[in-house]
Amino acid sequence: MALSDALLPEFAQEMAGVRKTLARVPADKFDWRPHEKSGLMMWLAGHIANLVGWASMTISTDELLAIFDKNVGEARAAVAGATDETLMQSWTLLHKGLTTFSMPRPQSYAAS
């Protein structure tokens, strides 16, 4: 039996459950947040609806690792070429134009 044949029954069961859940999301609650740090219900439901699309992309995209490796190389070169002065400068994460946090770059590595 092919591995895909073993996975498909569980996939069908999971997708049926997700579809049932998404069908129950009330349109008048799209502005609701389940938690103050959560996205809006509209974003959360859209995210869940789009997640399943990642499966075909990851299975059919051979260059995914090539893109990752390229980005790793560029990031490594940027860090290796940066001066101490540059690395000690603060950087700021913005969300919709508002500061989420600001910290020196070395601190952000320690925080992650």
pLDDT of residue 81: 93
Measured between alpha carbons, how far is 40 from 31 in angstroms, rounded to an integer? 5
pLDDT of residue 16: 96
Measured between alpha carbons, how far is 102 from 108 in angstroms, rounded to an integer? 9
pLDDT of residue 30: 92
What is the domain partition of the chain in residue ranges? 3-61
pLDDT of residue 94: 83
Taking only the tens place, the pLDDT of each residue in 28-51 is 999 999 999 999 999 999 999 999
Low-confidence spans in the chain with pLDDT less than 70: 106-112
